[in-house]
Amino acid sequence: MNRLFSIRALLILTALAAATPTLASEIGYVDMQRVLEDSDLGKAAQANLQERFGDEQRAFAQEEAEIRQLQQTLERDRPLMSTAQVEKTEQEIQTRIEQFEEEFAKIQQQLARAQQQEGQKILQPARDAVISVAKQRKLDAVFEANQSGVVYLDDGGDITDAVINAMNADTN
């Protein structure tokens, strides 16, 4: 629905601009993903998330590597092992996988909530910066580059760097 609305709005604005030069609109676009990643607020949010969840991510990577090593060892040594040893090792691997998946799901939920909270801290300043840049450049409309459904956008309409600079200027 949003994408369809954006396409229709762009087509209407383009048709109006072509039909009547007095109604010509200046249109820009912004890559909000880049704004969220490259602005000072975005980098601070990423650092905060890394600080909060980095240890867990490293622990999960270590556990995953250990499980894979157990699986490889089992496959390599299976012909030399008794049926009881194979069953015991398979059960150990299965238990570790289940524990891993359960804990991983919990951390992923916590991470998703934290990402959403951090994102909320950035969205209003980003919106304010988009409006500020759009007014400075006398733009009538600004689209989000990755969500507009537009097939072609000229680089001249990209205000992403200006939005990042405006956000960074407001946070300093």
pLDDT in tens, 68-91: 999 999 999 999 999 999 999 999
pLDDT tens for each residue of 1-33: 455 455 565 556 555 555 544 445 788 888 888
pLDDT of residue 141: 82
Phi-psi region at 139: left, alpha or beta (left = phi > 0; alpha = psi -120 to 50): beta
pLDDT tens for each residue of 110-129: 999 999 999 888 989 998 99
pLDDT of residue 150: 60
Q: What percentage of the chain carries pLDDT values higher than 90?
A: 53
142 phi/psi in degrees, rounded to 5: -130, 130
Look at 66 and 138; give whichever has higher pLDDT.
66
pLDDT of residue 140: 83
Question: What domains are defined for the chain?
Answer: 25-171 (3.30.910.20)
- The answer to whether residue 159 scores a pLDDT higher than 70 is yes
pLDDT of residue 22: 46
pLDDT of residue 43: 94
Q: What percentage of the chain carries pLDDT values higher than 70?
A: 81
- The answer to whether residue 42 scores a pLDDT higher than 60 is yes
pLDDT of residue 148: 59
pLDDT of residue 1: 47
